[in-house]
Structure 1
Amino acid sequence: MKYLYLILLFVMAVVVSSILHFSGMILPWLFGAMIAAILFHRFVNVEFAYPKWLGNAGLIIIGAEIGSTFTEDTLIDMADDYMNIILLSVLIVALSLLLSRFFMKLTGCSYETAVLATIPGALSQMIVMAEEEKKADLLLVTLTQMSRIVLVVIIVPFIASLAPRGGFAGINDVAAPLSEIFTPEMIWIVVFTPLLIYILGKLKFPVPVMIGPMIAILVWNLMTGYTFSVDVEFLYGAQLLFGLRIGMQISTLVNQLNTRMIVSMIVQNVLLIFGTMILVFLFILTTEHQFTNLFLSAAPGGIGQIIIVAVEMDANIAMISSYHIFRIFFILLVIAPLINLMLKRNRHSQGS
């Protein structure tokens, strides 16, 4: 029966997404899949687990699209922009920590819970730390981090759409689709991608199924200079596969929320998104970046969701992914250890 339910879910997703697509909706295949998953959970009302590997397949396609935008020229451009990347990442994390105090007052949660719930861009790491931290509310941390992903998917595209589109001559504007120029030598990408996913997974790196193909194709581009883009049909499929996973997650989390938690999470995450927008406006005064590119680069969400939005908005994918990848490294290698040390000192001082 589970295969019949899966087929029904896909049919609903295609129908809803097609309606949104022809109506001119932003990110129709992502939002359509999310809506279909919620409707499925609401009206079919059966115990059904969406296969994780299908969502991962969508992330692999997104990772391939990111990797296809990285060339020697884009890496040189990023090297010239390193100060903005570092400064903006630091300011986003600082804003998150500032809002954690406000979140603590809204929910009445512990300081440990507030800090782990508000740091953006490293969901899995924050949840692992919440599991290890006795004073942290794992449910609240998980729901807050997950709700941010949902709000980013809903709010960020509309804010970004207010700015003029285009104006970026990215590699995907000129590179031929993969289906047209595939060669036997590209099998090396297929071979190394699972290996990189496995290694990154062992290293506990966030979203290894997306970062793995990205690195594999990035290396291919630099070594061969033979670039390509991912067919738009594959990107629509990736949005649908990933949107169904987000929609199913939303459906299962809704029953665990109360009014105070919902209001607190929405307020905190909306403040973080709009606080980020204010920082971006300040950065625009001193840089030549377009609003859409810089806002998506700074947006406090997961890299997978942001890149889907960036593709739809015809934004600079290489720039946006580089900002988010740096922030992931920054949070994992610098912020997470500092937070862990800070929470240990907080426990020690309270114990004394």
Structure 2
Amino acid sequence: MGDIARIALAIAVGAAGGTLFYALSLPLPWMLGALTATMMASLAGLRMQGPVRIRAAVVAVIGVLLGANFTPDLISQALDWAVSLVLLAVYLLASILLVMPWYQRIGGFDAVTAYFAGMPGGLSEMIELGEAAGADVPRIILAQSLRIVTTIALIAIWFRWVQGYDVGRNAVQGGFADISWTDLGLLALAALLGSWLGLRLRLPAPTLLGPMIVSAALHLTDLTRSAPPVEIVIAAQIILGTVLGCRFQGLRARALVPAVGLSLGATVIMLALALCFALVIEAATGQSAEQVLLAYAPGGLTEMSLIAIALHAEVAFVALHHVVRILLVILAAPLAFRRWKG
């Protein structure tokens, strides 16, 4: 089977999983359904390949969607977010101090591998930094991948069945028929120009942040009030879930079970700590604990922002905190590691 056939099979499995989750009104159906279906198929030995090459284009669509949620009224509240942004650094430090011993004592990781496996940063950045430091890279890949997957699942379940929020349907309502050609052109421009700027400026998550910034500028200046069509957003979520699920290709279910248990424990520690910080911040500033929890959750920027959209939360608040988290980890993790080893 060629690469194109394996990619097509992966997307078909992901789409089937998303459709099933949507029909059952399960949380975040298109992404979580695609992720679950492709992960199970990967562990069962089905030969698939994630559509990694088109992920950047898909992420750009999500970036444009996030930018559509920026409004002048929302930005005027930015100064009120200073407390939670400052405490974010404290949360990250507390997380690694709790999770690193978990991976060492329960998982049997060496100290260097536990450090980069437990660091709540981006997957690619932690792999690169960990490899340079001599860590066990496969363990880092598995720990970081499972953390993202576990966080998405736990957050979706928490808000749907514990908090009672409706995250079973897509929050984007307008389809192609509801958007003018002019608005479609502006949104496409935001995706293309934003991706180019993000790569040129070397932003973290460039094809997400670049389009988000350009889209936010278009919406803040009222040049457009439209979001990407729901059909494209659904397709984007299916592809994102499929890419995540296909990361488990080549793994055996028997070998994955202890890794899942280890990741579940680490993620629960981080989320419980995030919930404590969220309650403190709510009491101190009045900011919703639910939004702070989403902003502090150790999941991916793209995935947590999509959940924020589904919950009609302040996407700018959630996205900004995840951008700051990634920047803090990228800048501080290697410095702290060198100081620790020294």
- Fold-level similarity (TM above 0.5): yes
Name the structure 2 match of 1:297: 295
Q: TM-score, normalised by structure 1?
A: 0.83
Number of corresponding residues: 335
Which residue does 1:159 correspond to in 2? 158
Counterpart Cα distance in 1 of 2:247 and 2:104: 25
Query: Counterpart of 2:142 in structure 1: which amino acid?
Result: L
- State how far apart, in whole Å, the 2-side matches of 1:23 and 1:269 are: 26
Alignment of 1:279-294 (within 5 A): 279-294=277-292
Whether the 8 Å contact between 2:121 and 2:330 is mirrored in structure 1 is: no
* CA deviation profile, 1:162-183 (whole Å, cap 9, x unmatched): 33548xxxxx89x976763435
Q: Which residue of 1 aligns with 2:310?
A: 312
Q: Would the alpha carbon gap of residues 177 and 145 (structure 1) be closer, same or farther in structure 2, given more than 3 Å must change?
A: same
Give percent identity, aligned residues only. 22
Structure 1: give runs of 5+ residues left out of the alignment. Answer: 167-171
Root-mean-square deviation (Å)? 2.9
Q: Could you say which residue in structure 2 is the equivalent of 1:123?
A: 123
The question of 1:86 aligning with 2:86 is answered yes
2:322 corresponding residue in structure 1: 324
Give 1:24's aligned amino acid: S
Matched, 1:67 2:72: no
Name which of 264, 270, 273 aligns with 2:271. Answer: 273
Separation (CA, whole Å) in 2 of partners of 1:316 and 1:68: 12
Contact 1:163 1:292 in 2 (8 A): no
SS in 1 for 2:39: helix
Q: Is the 8 A contact 2:64 2:187 kept in 1?
A: no
SS, match of residue 61 in structure 1: helix
User: Would the aligned equivalents of 1:56 and 1:242 in 2 still touch at CA under 8 Å?
Assistant: no
Deviations 1:142-178 (A, max 9, x none): 2111110010111011112333548xxxxx89x9767
Matched residue type, 1:301: G
**Match of residue 33 from structure 1:** 34
Report the TM-score when normalising by structure 2: 0.86
State the alpha-carbon separation in 2 of the partners of residues 344 and 4 from structure 1. Answer: 45
Please tell me whether the aligned partners of residues 281 and 289 of structure 2 are also in contact (alpha carbons under 8 angstroms): no
Match of 1:197 in 2: 195
Displacement of 1:203 in angstroms is 5.5
> Any gaps of 5 or more consecutive residues in structure 2?
none
1:1-352 superposed matches below 5 A:
1-2=1-2, 3-42=4-43, 45-46=46-47, 48-87=48-87, 89-99=88-98, 100-134=100-134, 136-161=135-160, 162-163=162-163, 165=165, 180-184=178-182, 187=185, 190-191=188-189, 193-201=191-199, 204-254=202-252, 257=255, 260-333=258-331, 335-336=332-333, 340-348=334-342
TM superposition shift of 1:10: 3.3
The 1-side partners of 2:10 and 2:178 are apart by: 31
CA displacement, residues 243-302 of structure 1 (integer Å, 9 cap, x when unaligned): 111111134455694665443333222211222122212222223223322211111111
